[in-house]
Amino acid sequence: MIQNDTIEQASYEIMKQAAIDIPADYLSGIKSVAEKESEQLSGFVIKTMVKNYEAATEDRRPMCADTGLPRYYVKVGDDARFEGGFTGIERAMRSATARATMDVPLRPNRVHPLWRTEHNNNVGINAPEVEWSFEPDADWIDITTVHKGGLFGTDYRMLFPGDGIDGIKRFLLDTLISFGKRGLCCQPAIVGVGLGGSKDTCMQLGKQAACLRIVGDRNPDPKIADLELELAQIGNGIGMGPMGFVGSSMVVDLHIEVGHTHTGGMPISVHTFCLSSRRATARIHASGEIEYRTDPKWFTPYHRRETVAWEDK
C-alpha cells in the first residue's frame, strides 16, 4: 500500500528537481546544437545558458525565475494500491505544489484569470493541472511534473487532409517564426507537434510531445520518425537562433504525436518547450521506494495502442 505521504514527498521532490536541474538529454542536445552554431550572438546566448544551468545546480536555485505553470502527469499501474484514493493523490500533489512554491522558491504565477487574485502557492481553480493515464501489469505510480512557461510558443490550426505535409510545414514555420522573433518562445527548444484527435486532444498531444519525450527519442512509426527529423531540420533552417538573433539553433529536437481524428480534418498544434526544459519524474514502487529520473516515459506502447483490446506483443 503506497502511503499518501510518500506521494506528497515524491511530488515535492520532483517540483524541486524540475526547477533546478537541467535534464541530461536536453543538456547534451543543446551542446550539439551549439557546436553547429556559427553566429557570435547566438553562440554567446547558448554559452550563457549552459553557465546558467551550472549556477542553478551549484546554488540549488531555479534555472529560470518564471517557473511557469507547474503541473502533473500521473500514470497509475493497474496493480498499484494507494491509500486515500485518487482524490488523495490529487490532494498530495496540491500540497507538494504549495510547499515547493515556498521552499524552492517557485514564482507564484497562478492568478484568477479575471480578478487576478492569488493564493501565493500556485494552487487554485483547475490548478495545478493533473493529467491521468494508466498502465497494465504495473504496481507503481509515475508522477511527472513539467514547469512550462505559459504565454508564448504555442498555436493551433484546423488543417484539412488535402493540405497534406505542406500544410504541416507551413504551420510549423508560421508558429516558429512568429514566436521565435525576439526569442519569445525561449528557443532553442524541444518542439512538440500534435496531429489529429479532437481539437483539445490535438493541443494536449502537442504539449505532451514537447514536454514528455526526451531529446533523441523517435516516434515508433518510421514514417513519422522521418517527418520528425525533416521538420526539425526545417526549423533549424529558418536562419533564426536564440532570442531571434541570426543563427541556426531553433530546434533541439522535434516530436510528433498523433491521434485518430475526424475523417474530414487534420488538426495541428505546435508547442515549444523552453531553454530550461523543466521536467522530472518519480516512480513510486509498491514498496514505497521512490526512484527519480528525467525521462517521463509517458508514451508507452499501451498509451499509443490503436486496437480495442490490448495485448503486449
Partner 1 sequence: MLEEVSVDLPATPESISALKLGSIVYLNGIVYTAREGVYERILTRGGQLPEGLTRASNVNFHCSPAAALQQDGQYHIGGVTATASFRFSKYLADWLDLTNTKIVIGKGGMPTDDYKNILAPRGAVYLTTVGYGTGALLGRGVVGVEAVHWLDELGIAQALWMFRVKDFGPFLVDSDLQGNSLFAQQGELVNKKIESLYEGLKQPALHRYGETHDRKDELM
Which residues fall within 8 angstroms of residue 148, CB to CB, at 6 or more apart? 68, 69, 71, 207, 210, 211, 273, 274, 278
Burial class (CB in 10 A: 0-12, 13-18, 19+), 68: buried
Burial class (CB in 10 A: 0-12, 13-18, 19+), 59: exposed
229 lies in the site for partner 1, by CB under 8 A: no
Q: At 181, which helix (H) or strand (E)?
A: none
70 lies in the site for partner 1, by CB under 8 A: no
State in Å, rounded, how far the first CA of the chain is from the last one.
30
Is the Cβ of residue 183 or residue 206 nearer to partner 1 in the bound state?
A: 183
**Which listed residue (17, 67, 204, 248) binds partner 1 by CB under 8 A?**
67
63 lies in the site for partner 1, by CB under 8 A: yes
Which residues fall within 8 angstroms of residue 226, CB to CB, at 6 or more apart? none
**Smallest distance from the beta carbon of 250 to partner 1, in angstroms?**
11
Q: CA 216 to CA 29: how far, in whole Å?
A: 8
Give the three cell numbers for residue 95: 500540497
**Which listed residue (3, 4, 66, 131) binds partner 1 by CB under 8 A?**
66
**Which listed residue (49, 143, 146, 211) binds partner 1 by CB under 8 A?**
49
**Which listed residue (108, 124, 196, 259) binds partner 1 by CB under 8 A?**
108
Tell me how crowded residue 182 is: count the other CB atoms within 10 A of its CB.
10
**Smallest distance from the beta carbon of 55 to partner 1, in angstroms?**
4
248 lies in the site for partner 1, by CB under 8 A: no
Is the Cβ of residue 6 or residue 122 nearer to partner 1 in the bound state?
A: 122
Q: CA 249 to CA 258: how far, in whole Å?
A: 26
Q: Which of residues 156-215 bind partner 1 (CB under 8 A)?
A: 157-160, 162-164, 166-167, 169-171, 173, 177, 181-184, 186
40 lies in the site for partner 1, by CB under 8 A: yes
Among left, alpha and beta (phi > 0; psi -120 to 50; other), residue 164 is: left
What residues line the site for partner 1 (CB under 8 A)? 19, 40-41, 44-46, 48-49, 51-53, 55-56, 59, 61-67, 101-109, 111, 118, 120, 151-152, 157-160, 162-164, 166-167, 169-171, 173, 177, 181-184, 186, 234, 237-240, 242-246, 274-276
